[in-house]
Structure 1
């Protein structure tokens, strides 16, 4: 969703605690992570398999939310294709109104700042500086659109959202964003074991060099 020079991040901010703590990667969350990866980087057949598994294993509101957030990390075409297949496979009709919408710009800004600060922790203030230096519009869109309108939606907790983002970034080979969201998953309430298990879910769909690189990146995030 965004790029920044993570080597320069050292500014402190107050972290807002996540509403969920994950100590194990349960089957439903593992299926959700797998779905996020396939939506972001899988083939059509792989995505259909993931959505079929989702229909059997994942609550529908979570599936909807992961499909919706896919557009931030993989673009509208993949989000639209995923939504179309989900409606067909699940047989579920889309809601007539979005009852979880964060409607006003002020609310999106406020929620976006809190969510982004939770994800980035002590790196948050420098992130904002770095993104504004790229373009002020990107900073505004990142906070209001990405973290406010999408990632602050109620039906899916932030810890699971971050694990799904880790999966999306890994399969798309977006190393800088993966680095950020490995940190973010920990900040949002996922344990180190859960993040490791998330990488293992995506591993079979990556080249061996990618797997080694990402586990090395994860080790550095943990200070190993």
Structure 2
């Protein structure tokens, strides 16, 4: 299994190293170390592998993620993986921090999220965020589950895309990277993964970086997760070129 995983990872890496834009100029072809750490932290939080999560948290801090950035990732993931997984991740992070402090390691705390104005319109803000992540210039009319169960749409908009996504101590590209890592690590969420892979690219992640995301999954999380996510990414890229 390790050999298969390494081969798949190397194949993905070979692809992304050749990335260039339509005019032949070099583009960013890999995720940076902090982004790669977000992938690992989110994936292991989602699948409940706390031993590997512990290693990923240490690597994330060593790569330059601040304490508050990691806290923010772990908090956001409750919206996609549930409170139990998120709380397990937070408890694991607390243990990691205690161990690092005992070793005399001082980690950068990072800044807290800025407070929102008192007259903030959460519904309007969240609708605009969701439309922008979906690649739309205008807010689409409600349809499907939004009409069938409007309360879940209210929760999605006002809490996830307002209360959470408005917190500015983690940028929205990082939030989407955490989201697709989580969704790729939970079986049966291909539809949601496809939606959020598009959203991740709408925040500025390019094709090469998305392929490197698959490579990170293959090398650090698992070949099953990587193969399934790669199939979804293939559909996403095909649809975006139409």
Q: What residue is the counterpart of 1:193 in the other structure?
A: 208
Q: By how many angstroms is 1:220 displaced?
A: 1.6
Q: What residue is the counterpart of 1:62 in the other structure?
A: 69
* Residue 73 (str. 1) matches residue 80 (str. 2): yes
The verdict on how the C-alpha distance between 1:142 and 1:104 changes in structure 2, with shifts beyond 3 A counting, is farther
* Residue 116 (str. 1) matches residue 123 (str. 2): no
Contact kept? 1:128, 1:139, Cα under 8 Å:
no
Farther off after superposition, 45-54 or 150-159: 45-54
* Residue 43 (str. 1) matches residue 49 (str. 2): yes
Contact kept? 1:101, 1:149, Cα under 8 Å:
no
Farther off after superposition, 27-36 or 100-109: 100-109
Q: How many angstroms apart in 2 are the aligned matches of 1:178 and 1:198?
A: 13
Contact kept? 1:102, 1:148, Cα under 8 Å:
no
Q: How many angstroms apart in 2 are the aligned matches of 1:101 and 1:67?
A: 20
Q: By how many angstroms is 1:24 displaced?
A: 3.6
Q: What residue is the counterpart of 1:163 in the other structure?
A: 177
Q: By how many angstroms is 1:214 displaced?
A: 2.5
Q: How many angstroms apart in 2 are the aligned matches of 1:219 and 1:123?
A: 25
The verdict on how the C-alpha distance between 1:201 and 1:24 changes in structure 2, with shifts beyond 3 A counting, is closer
Taking structure 2 as the reference length, the TM-score comes to 0.72
Farther off after superposition, 66-75 or 197-206: 197-206
Q: How many angstroms apart in 1 are the aligned matches of 2:138 and 2:129?
A: 10
| Number of residue equivalences | 200
The verdict on how the C-alpha distance between 1:212 and 1:123 changes in structure 2, with shifts beyond 3 A counting, is farther
| Unaligned runs of at least 5 residues, structure 1 | 1-20
The verdict on how the C-alpha distance between 1:46 and 1:130 changes in structure 2, with shifts beyond 3 A counting, is same
Give the alignment's Cα RMSD to 1 decimal.
Answer: 2.8
Farther off after superposition, 36-45 or 210-219: 210-219
Q: By how many angstroms is 1:164 displaced?
A: 1.2
The verdict on how the C-alpha distance between 1:199 and 1:128 changes in structure 2, with shifts beyond 3 A counting, is farther
Contact kept? 1:170, 1:178, Cα under 8 Å:
yes
Q: How many angstroms apart in 2 are the aligned matches of 1:124 and 1:90?
A: 43
Q: By how many angstroms is 1:177 displaced?
A: 0.7
Contact kept? 1:102, 1:108, Cα under 8 Å:
no
Contact kept? 1:65, 1:156, Cα under 8 Å:
yes
Taking structure 1 as the reference length, the TM-score comes to 0.78
Contact kept? 2:46, 2:182, Cα under 8 Å:
yes
